[in-house]
Amino acid sequence: MVPWALLSALILAQICYPLTTGVTRARLTVATVLLGYLLTVGHALLSRGPRTAAALVAAGTGGGFAVEALGVATGFPFGGYDYSGELGPKLAGVPLVIPLAWTWMAWPAWLAAVRLIRPAGERPTWPRHAGRITLAAVGLAAWDLFLDPQMVAEGYWMWRDVTVALPGLPGVPVSNYLGWLLFAVLLMGALRPLAGPAVAGTDSRDDPMFALYLWTYLSSVLAHAVFLALPASALWGAAGMAVVAVPLAMTLLRTSRHGDDRPAPRPPRRDVDAPA
Our measurement of the distance from residue 261's CA atom to the centroid of its chain's CA atoms, rounded to an integer in Å, reads: 26
β-strand pairing of 157-159 with 81-83: antiparallel
pLDDT at 259: 63
Q: Could you give the CA distance from residue 61 to residue 96 in angstroms, rounded to a whole number?
A: 10
pTM: 0.91
pLDDT at 175: 94
Contact 202, 111 (CB under 8 A): yes
pLDDT at 120: 52
pLDDT at 123: 56
Regions in the chain scoring below 50 on pLDDT:
122, 261-276
Three-point CA angle 103, 106, 110, nearest 5°: 145
Give the 3-state secondary structure of residue 90. Answer: strand
Candidates 275, 271, 147, 273; CA nearest to 219 is 147
Contact 68, 79 (CB under 8 A): no
pLDDT at 272: 40
Candidates 57, 56, 14; CA nearest to 35 is 14
